[in-house]
Amino acid sequence: MRDRTKLIILACSLLFVMLLFIGYDLKGNLEYIISRRFIRLATMLLVGTSVGISAIIFQTITGNRILTPSIMGYESIFILFQTLIVFSFGDQALQTISQEMNFFLAVVLMLLFSLMMYLLVFHNQRRDMFQLLLIGMVMGALFQSLSQFMHILIDPNEFSVIQNFMFVSFSKMNTKLLGIAAATLLIALIYLWRLMPYLDVLKLGRDQAINLGIHYNRLIKQLLLLISLMVSVSTALVGPITFLGILVSNITYELLKSYRHRWMLIFCAMSSCIFLVMGQFLIEHVLKFSTTVSIVINFIGAIYFMFLLWKARKIIR
C-alpha cells in the first residue's frame, strides 16, 4: 500500500473518531455539550500535533527511536515552575496569575532553558548530542527533586492545586488560552516547514549532514527551540504525557516506509490525535471517568517501550 493511501486512510480514521467524540450520546443542553466537546477536541488536536511532531524531530536530531523531548527535562521544569508559583502565592496562585500569563511564562521559561542547554553544549565544537542528552537528564532529575522537596513543605490544599498540572486533563481549558496556544503552534509549524528539507538530510547523521553543507549547530539550535515551543504548548495546556511520543513515532516508522519528514510528521501528528481522541472517548463513555487518558496512554506506551527495548536486544544479538 502506498504511503499516500495510508495517509488518506488515517485522515478518514481521524475524521471518524472526531465525529464519534462530538456526536455520541448527545443529551440535555445540546448547545452547551457540543461547545464543550469542541473545546476538548480542539485541545486534543493541538496537543496531539505538538507531541507527535516534536517526538519525530527530536528522534531525528538524536538518531534514536526510543527518546522523546521529555528526557530533556521540559516537563520537569514546567512542574517546578508551577510548584514555585503555588509555593510563593499559596492556593490563591491561580487568582494571582492568570492562565494566559501562566502559559506565556511557561513557554518563555522552556525556550530559555532550551537555549541555555544549547549554549552549554554546542559552544564547544567537540561536544555532541549525547552530552546534551546527559545534561538534560541530570537537569530534569534536579528539577524533579526540587519540585518534590517543595511538595513536602507546602500545605496539602496547595498541593492539590499543583496536582491539576501534574496529570493530563482536557476539561480545564478556556477558549482564550486555546487560541493563544493555537497561534503559537501555527507559528512553530510555519517555521518548521522551511526546515523540512534539512530534516531529511539530518536523518543521515551529523557527519553526512555537515558534508552535504548543513550548518549543523545552527540547525540544531533552531530545532531545539521549536521542540521546546511545541512541548511547552502541549504541557502548559493539559500537563505531561510521557509515553505518547514514543508510541506514535514508532508506529509511524513501522507503518510509513517513507523517510521524508513531510509525510512522517503529518502521519505521526494524525496518529497522535487519534490516540488522544479515542482514548478520551473511552475514558468518558466506557470507563466513566474512573481513570485519566494519560494513565491509559502511558500504560500502553510503557508496554510498547519495553517491547522496543526487547526488539533492539534481539537485533544486537
**What are the pLDDT digits (tens) for 214-223?**
888 888 888 8
Interval 233-259 mean pLDDT: 82
Q: Which domains are seen in the chain, by residue range?
A: 3-316 (1.10.3470.10)
- Cα–Cα distance list, 171 to 3, 32, 75, 224, 280 (Å): 35, 14, 20, 30, 11
The pLDDT value recorded for residue 271 is: 92
The pLDDT value recorded for residue 84 is: 83
67: phi then psi, degrees, rounded to nearest 5: -110, 145
Concatenated DSSP letters for 215-231? -HHHHHHHHHHHHHHHH
Q: Please work out, in degrees rounded to the nearest 5, the angle formed at the alpha carbon of residue 101 by the alpha carbons of 41 and 229.
A: 60
**pLDDT by residue (tens digit) across 56-68?**
998 888 888 878 8
- Residue closest to 93 by CA, chosen among 167, 155, 148: 155
Question: Which of 124-128, 230-234, 237-241, 262-266 has the least mean pLDDT?
Answer: 124-128
Using CA atoms, how far apart are residues 104 and 236, in angstroms rounded to an integer?
Answer: 9
The pLDDT value recorded for residue 17 is: 92
Contact 80, 183 (CB under 8 A): no
- Residue closest to 268 by CA, chosen among 104, 54, 122: 54
